[in-house]
């Protein structure tokens, strides 16, 4: 019997923590904790311009703003990820009509905590996945990792006919809040990023989802210092170059060429599932791709209601589109994640 091998990305499952911080809460917190910081007013202007109205965080704000040490925070990351990830995985498996025993590979992505062995090993032991499940943890691509995970799942299914891949994104960005770091990048990141867990299954057989057809990676030369972590005893300190918002201009032609190489016109795609790094990122990309701003409405909605949830953004935007029922058979889509490097991970797909 011939094995069907059409990598299909099914509806993601997403968990958003119960604790919520609004934009006004964020501004009040900045004014309280950094009232004498010369970067305060500039940072507040940037906060307002991000378009983030609220974010979900893994701890109450009173705990999130304390700094008990990097080790304690990482212990919170481990505890909460092991407590919460399994139910999200179960929902993702249900969405794909798959079971844990049918998974051949796990791609686990996070840029906000560190575990060794990876959470993948714990999940194999505790969720009934096969002992020979391939494990691929990806940690250092930041927000681009959502796109990277989808691309690596696509590649794995093509290389291993008949296999299914589980993708998990676990981002607790609030555990990197730095209450004494007055750098503009740190001030902005503490008020832009949110927390989320997402999971999705890529199956080898077609189903209700996006058929993954072609992918590509691209790194903008000489920008590797523009988005980075400065690792200190207190943990991850986010650093952001002021030139980052301008990176959509050089990335747009790369995305256009990817579509062209596949025989598609990027200006006429039906769906755009784009990483929401901030309001300007989306505005500029629409401008340089020459597409209507409405194409990014679900990414923008994710940004407004969740903040930048790092590698989970593309999954939450896709989930929102899925639940709205906007997809039509044959509709062409691009998925794109952007992160440190500066790196872009892009995928072309069709609804089947």
Query: How far is it, in rounded angstroms, from Cα 12 to Cα 83?
Result: 19
Given a contact cutoff of 8 angstroms between Cβ atoms, the answer to whether 139 and 109 are in contact is: yes
Each residue's pLDDT expressed in tens, for the chain with a length of 352 residues? 456 688 999 999 999 999 999 988 888 887 887 788 887 788 788 778 888 999 999 999 888 888 888 899 999 999 999 999 999 999 999 999 999 999 999 999 999 888 999 999 999 999 999 999 999 999 889 999 999 999 999 999 999 999 999 999 999 999 988 878 777 777 677 778 999 999 999 999 888 999 999 999 999 999 999 989 888 888 888 888 889 889 999 999 999 999 999 999 999 999 999 998 888 899 999 999 999 999 999 999 999 999 999 999 999 999 999 999 999 999 999 999 999 999 999 999 999 8
Q: For 248-269, b where at least 16 C-beta lie within 10 A, e where not — what string?
A: beebbebbbebbeeeebebeeb
**34, containing H or E segment:** none
- Whether 143 is catalytic: yes
Q: What integer pLDDT is reported at residue 1 of this predicted model?
A: 45
Residue 308: count of CB within 10 angstroms of its CB: 23
Q: What integer pLDDT is reported at residue 36 of this predicted model?
A: 80
Given a contact cutoff of 8 angstroms between Cβ atoms, the answer to whether 339 and 142 are in contact is: yes
In sequence order, the 6+-apart residues with CB closer than 8 A to the CB of 76 are 58, 59, 172, 175
**Catalytic residue (one of 111, 143, 272, 306):** 143
CA distances from 162 to 114, 150, 272 (A): 32, 17, 28
Tokens of 141: 């691509």
**257, containing H or E segment:** helix 248-261
Q: What integer pLDDT is reported at residue 312 of this predicted model?
A: 96
In sequence order, the 6+-apart residues with CB closer than 8 A to the CB of 18 are 56
Q: What integer pLDDT is reported at residue 348 of this predicted model?
A: 98
Alpha helices in 128-232 (DSSP H): 145-159, 184-189
In sequence order, the 6+-apart residues with CB closer than 8 A to the CB of 71 are none
Query: Half-sphere exposure of residue 179, counting CA atoms within 13 Å on the CB side?
Result: 14
Domains of the chain: 8-203 (3.40.47.10), 210-351 (3.40.47.10)
Query: Half-sphere exposure of residue 58, counting CA atoms within 13 Å on the CB side?
Result: 28
Q: What integer pLDDT is reported at residue 27 of this predicted model?
A: 84
Residue 298 three-state SS = helix
């Amino acid at each position: 019997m011939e094995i069907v091998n059409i990598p299909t990305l099914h509806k993601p499952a997403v968990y958003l923590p119960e604790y919520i911080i609004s934009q006004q809460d964020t501004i009040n917190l900045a004014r309280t904790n950094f009232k004498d910081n010369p970067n305060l007013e500039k940072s507040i202007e940037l906060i307002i311009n991000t378009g983030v109205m609220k974010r979900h965080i893994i701890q109450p704000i009173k705990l999130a703003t304390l700094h008990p040490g990097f080790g304690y925070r990482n212990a919170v990351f481990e505890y909460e990820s092991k407590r919460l990830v399994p139910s999200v995985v179960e929902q993702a498996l249900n969405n794909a009509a798959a079971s844990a025993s049918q998974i051949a590979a796990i791609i686990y992505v996070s840029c906000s905590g560190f575990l060794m062995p990876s959470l993948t090993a714990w999940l194999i032991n505790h969720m009934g996945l096969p002992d020979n499940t391939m494990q691929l943890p990806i940690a250092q691509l930041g927000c681009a990792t959502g796109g990277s995970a989808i691309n690596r799942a696509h590649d794995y299914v093509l290389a291993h006919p008949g296999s299914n891949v589980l993708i998990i994104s676990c981002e607790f960005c609030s555990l990197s809040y730095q209450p004494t770091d007055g750098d503009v990048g740190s001030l902005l990141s503490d008020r832009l990023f949110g927390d989320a867990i997402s999971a999705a299954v890529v199956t080898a057989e077609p189903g209700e989802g996006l058929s993954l057809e072609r992918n590509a990676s691209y790194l903008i030369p000489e920008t590797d210092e523009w988005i980075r972590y400065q690792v200190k005893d207190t943990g991850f300190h986010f650093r952001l170059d002021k030139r980052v918002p301008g990176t959509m201009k050089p990335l747009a032609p790369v995305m256009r060429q990817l579509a062209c190489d596949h025989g598609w016109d990027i200006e006429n795609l039906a769906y755009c599932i784009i990483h929401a790094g901030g309001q300007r990122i989306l505005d500029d990309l629409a401008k340089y791709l020459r597409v209507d701003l409405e194409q990014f409405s679900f990414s923008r909605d994710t940004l407004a209601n969740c903040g930048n949830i790092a590698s989970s953004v593309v999954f939450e935007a896709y989930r929102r589109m899925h639940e709205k029922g906007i997809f039509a058979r044959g509709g062409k889509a691009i998925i794109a994640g952007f992160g440190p490097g500066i790196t872009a991970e892009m995928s072309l797909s069709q609804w089947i």
